[in-house]
Amino acid sequence: MAALLTFEQLAAIPGFRLWNPENSGNESSNSEYGRIPAKAASGPGGDRAIRGSAIAPAPALRAGSALRAPLLSLAREEGIFSVTLDSRNVEPGALFVALKGASDDGHRYVEAALRAGAGAAMVAEDRLADPALGLADIARRAGASLIVVEDTLRGLQDAAAAYLAGFPRLLKVSITGSAGKSTTKEICAAMMRAERETVCNEGNLNSETGLPLAVFGVRPRHEVCVFEMGMNRRGEIAELARVLKPHIALITNIGPAHIGMIGSIAGIVEEKKQIFSQFTGTETALIPEDEPYREELAEGVLGKVSYYGPCNLEAWGGVRDRGLAGTEITWGGKPVLFAIPGRHNVKNALAAAAIARAAGLSDEALRQGLASVRALGGRSEILRRASPGGGEMTVVRDCYNSNPAGAAEALAFCEGLDWPGRRVYVLGSMLELGAFSAEAHEKLGEALAASRAERVFFYGPETEAALGAFRRAGGGERASLAPSLEALAGALGGCLRGGDLLLLKGSRGCALERVLDLLPAPAREAGERRP
């Protein structure tokens, strides 16, 4: 099994210095690493899983306990076979990257990672010099190498970029935007898989650390990678673009998501368009044809700029709404059922189709992708559950995240359904809106006051503004604010009955999906099923 990166390859990355135990504690420069055996020159590959999550503590070592298993000496000579940020997820031959967080420091867990089998640890220069940590002694006793960098986050990203550079024939696709990134990625990947070996970042591995970890999942058999890029601070998209260097890059939309961290819509435009920042002239930028900021996004882009949407995709033949079952989309003259409901998800399908066309996929591949893809957990999921009041209710579980545009889309979807029963809406806080939070929640409250909901439940301190606006707009006493998830579940338990449509929409921090498990019986006993 080949290493993902050999130590020789790691040593060649600018800014990387290697310390190895054979140097008796002396830090080795790149040129001093010539002692690595010739077999270390093998290229990227292997099939080890990538494990990554938040830094977490591990049990303290007993004095004098063995740190390494004998089989790891081979890993030390060859290179790294997986990458992790969590000492609890270490596998033999792994690279443990010690990140410095706001509340904890991964350098505290280097010893635990080496004991668990890591072949090397990436550490920061200033931490290596800290005698209280004793990292050189720990590595010497373990017989392990240390990769020394100025900043371990940048080091992780640089290592991922170096690894990806070993796949020159790989078509690299990236997706960002204020909403719809993950769903568009899944649709696009489903289309690509119909004709090509494809890999994409799983779940929400789209951040400054998540995307680099996902990159190490690329293998020689892959022809296409589809990676989404998230953002919650300035400069993050530019960093991720530097790692990926995409050939095709798409922006789904521009909205106020994370505006509290960026400060303005204009700032969000500038940050999102950094997905094109590594273009050299041959790449393709895809921008929605109806995006109000389309000109600003296209300005200064090196390469081809294409606008996508119904007017610019010649094979598009229109849609037929099938309600909770999804949407019937006609593509290339043939209809296909796209099972993720809502007009906003049709936009995501159009975005994925634009990428597929730019990549040269056939109409049949697009239709196969549309037919096979399913909603991700917490994103436009449709569930059937027994209600606390008896009978079966329908749940629209769309609570993975929320922002003003996403909340409006979820509300519009539920309002547009031909629903014979009652509508019950649960809206959680929309987070990371900063100074715009009160105004955004007030607009949400006004929209809900005009809705057809029988009952509205708010959850989270930010939604106090929504409740006030709801009542001022004439919504009456149909709405209430729950102080806790338990209180929310109790209130819903006394309200819900068979035939109801229940909407759950809120930001990730609200964890509204937990409400379903907190509902009183019989809902909890009856379980759930998808239509």
For every one of its 531 residues, what pLDDT tens digit does the chain have, with 9 covering 90 and above? Answer: 788 998 889 989 999 998 877 654 444 333 333 223 323 333 344 433 333 433 333 333 333 333 333 333 334 458 889 999 999 999 999 999 999 988 889 999 999 999 999 999 999 999 999 999 999 999 999 888 999 999 999 999 999 999 999 999 999 999 999 888 999 999 999 999 999 999 999 877 888 999 999 999 999 999 999 999 998 889 999 999 999 999 999 999 998 877 878 888 899 999 999 999 999 999 999 999 999 999 999 999 999 999 999 999 989 999 999 999 999 999 999 999 999 998 999 999 999 999 999 999 999 999 999 999 998 787 888 999 988 988 999 999 998 888 898 899 899 999 999 999 999 999 999 998 888 899 999 999 999 999 999 999 999 999 999 999 999 999 989 999 999 999 999 999 999 999 999 999 998 889 999 999 999 877 444 455 555
The strand ranges marked E within 296-357 are: 304-308, 316-321, 327-331, 334-338
Q: What is the model's pLDDT at position 56?
A: 36
For CA atoms 41, 43, 46, 52, give the dihedral sign.
Answer: positive
Residue whose structure tokens are 């260097």: 245
Q: Are 282 and 303 contacting, i.e. CB atoms less than 8 angstroms apart?
A: yes
Strand pairing of 327-331 and 316-321? antiparallel
Report the pLDDT value the prediction gives residue 287, as an integer from 0 to 100. Answer: 97
Cα–Cα distance between 79 and 198 in angstroms, integer?
Answer: 26
Structure tokens that stand for 385 in this block: 């559950």
Q: Is 95 exposed, middle or buried (0-12, 13-18, 19+ CB in 10 A)?
A: buried
Count CB neighbours of 485 within 10 A: 17
| Phi-psi label, residue 354: left if phi above 0, alpha if psi -120 to 50, beta otherwise | alpha
Residues 6+ apart with CB under 8 A from 487: none
CB atoms within 10 A of CB 59: 9
What confidence score (pLDDT) does residue 65 get? 31
What is the β-pairing status of strands 79-80 and 284-288? unpaired
d(CA 427, CA 470): 12
Residue-level pLDDT at 278: 97
Q: What is the pLDDT of residue 22?
A: 67
Specify whether the CB–CB gap between 183 and 130 falls below 8 A: no
Q: Would you say the pTM of this structure is higher than 0.85?
A: no
Q: Are 319 and 329 in contact (CB under 8 A)?
A: yes
CA 519/CA 484 separation, integer angstroms: 13
Give the helix, strand, coil percentages of the chain, each rounded to 5.
Answer: 40, 20, 40
The torsion angles phi and psi of 189, rounded to 5 degrees, stand at: -65, -40
Phi, psi dihedrals of residue 224, rounded to the nearest 5°: -140, 140
